[in-house]
Structure 1
Amino acid sequence: MLFANDTEEGLRSAAALVNTEDGEQLPDVGSLHRFARNWNWTGNLALDDAELGAVRRLRPRLRALWDGDEDYVVETVNSLLREFNALPQLVRHDSWDYHIHAVPREAPLSARMAVEAAMAFVDLVRSQELSRLRTCASPDCGNVLVDLSKNRSRRFCESGCGNRAAAAAYRARLAERAESA
């Protein structure tokens, strides 16, 4: 573990949310509900069209964090924390031990998503680890990822790009061997 569990979970869920923009993977309230359930979002879940719109509008703001330099990331993170009146508190609930929540459970889902991501990025900036933010190395994929590996070797997103690249490299080696035989 490189960071606290809530930081890692915040970074992973932010990347997953950003990646729903490609091919619009949140087309309706039902898909937002599945996303929230899969990422264990608790608290107030209105799950209506207004909330869906707010979550969709958050994605490009978070996506820009993967492309920005440290000053831009700090400015954006501070803006998100101010906008949603973040007030960090230690909480314990469900299967989680103490961790930080910076907005109440009653806050809209989009606010909680924004602040959780911002709080996770705070840890990245403080530990000078923004280089862990990456875009998938597959030439036909634009997904973002957070490299939480110890050796900083993660290159592909979780959409199967790494498997496709390995299979293509294997086929290329087979073809090369066949040509030289």
Structure 2
Amino acid sequence: MVFAHDTEIALGTAAALVNTTGPDREGLPDVAALDAFFRAYGWTGRHEHTDAELREVRALRPRLREVWYADEDRAAEIVNGLLRECSALPQLVKHDDEPYHLHSVPRDAPLAMRMAVEAAMGFVDVVRSGELRRLRICEYPDCGNVVVDLSKNRSKRFCDAGCGNKAAVEAYRARKAAALRP
């Protein structure tokens, strides 16, 4: 494990949230999609199931994406801004058969605020441990998804949307085609 369990979950969830948007896609087109995201990533606490909440969550994504492109100072500035705006106060909590972990805003805080603070707390560990290079952009051409590399040897190159498989298939086909050429 590179980081604490809750940090790794926060980073993975932040990446998944950022990757719900792109130049030609909207992964959170409606409240039902936000509901599915909420369930898929194990969120608990307040969830209003409203268009207003959906807009707030969508508005968070560009700020989180910026961390993947930021240098250390800019990343710290973004993280500190999120924590300050949300009046984050880290506390150890235990719920739903989970061991103690950090929550920095109450469970009844708005969903977008909880998402912002969870991501920011994950980024705190990345920045203070000097591991910002673990936040990458997928290397598959024209993908643009963000990647959290939690591998021991820092070798993850592709996102979780199948780009690694596509790259492997393309490389295989290129090798086969080269072998058939005289």
TM-score range, shorter chain: over 0.9
| 1:29-68 Cα distance to aligned partner (Å, 9 max, x none) | 0000000100000000112011000000000000000001
Amino acid paired to 2:180: A
For 1:96 and 1:50, locate their aligned partners in 2 and report how far apart those are by CA, in whole Å: 30
Question: Which SS does the other structure have where 1:93 is aligned?
Answer: coil
> Alignment RMSD, CA only?
0.6
Q: What is the TM-score normalised by the length of structure 1?
A: 0.98
How many residues in Structure 1 have an aligned counterpart in Structure 2?
180
Q: Which residue number in structure 2 is paired with residue 26 of structure 1?
A: 28
Question: Which SS does the other structure have where 1:97 is aligned?
Answer: coil
Gaps in structure 2 of 5+ consecutive residues: none
Q: Which residue number in structure 2 is paired with residue 169 of structure 1?
A: 171
How big is the shift at 1:95? Answer: 3.1
Please say if 1:17 is aligned against 2:17. yes
| 1:136-171 Cα distance to aligned partner (Å, 9 max, x none) | 000120000100000100000001000000000000
Q: What is the TM-score normalised by the length of structure 2?
A: 0.98
For 2:85 and 2:127, locate their aligned partners in 1 and report how far apart those are by CA, in whole Å: 19
Q: Which residue among 75, 78, 91 is the counterpart of 1:89? A: 91
Residue identity (%) = 63
Q: Which residue number in structure 2 is paired with residue 141 of structure 1?
A: 143
Gaps in structure 1 of 5+ consecutive residues: none
Q: Which residue number in structure 1 is paired with residue 74 of structure 2?
A: 72
Q: Which residue number in structure 2 is paired with residue 129 of structure 1?
A: 131
For 1:80 and 1:19, locate their aligned partners in 2 and report how far apart those are by CA, in whole Å: 19
For 1:82 and 1:14, locate their aligned partners in 2 and report how far apart those are by CA, in whole Å: 18
How big is the shift at 1:8? Answer: 0.2
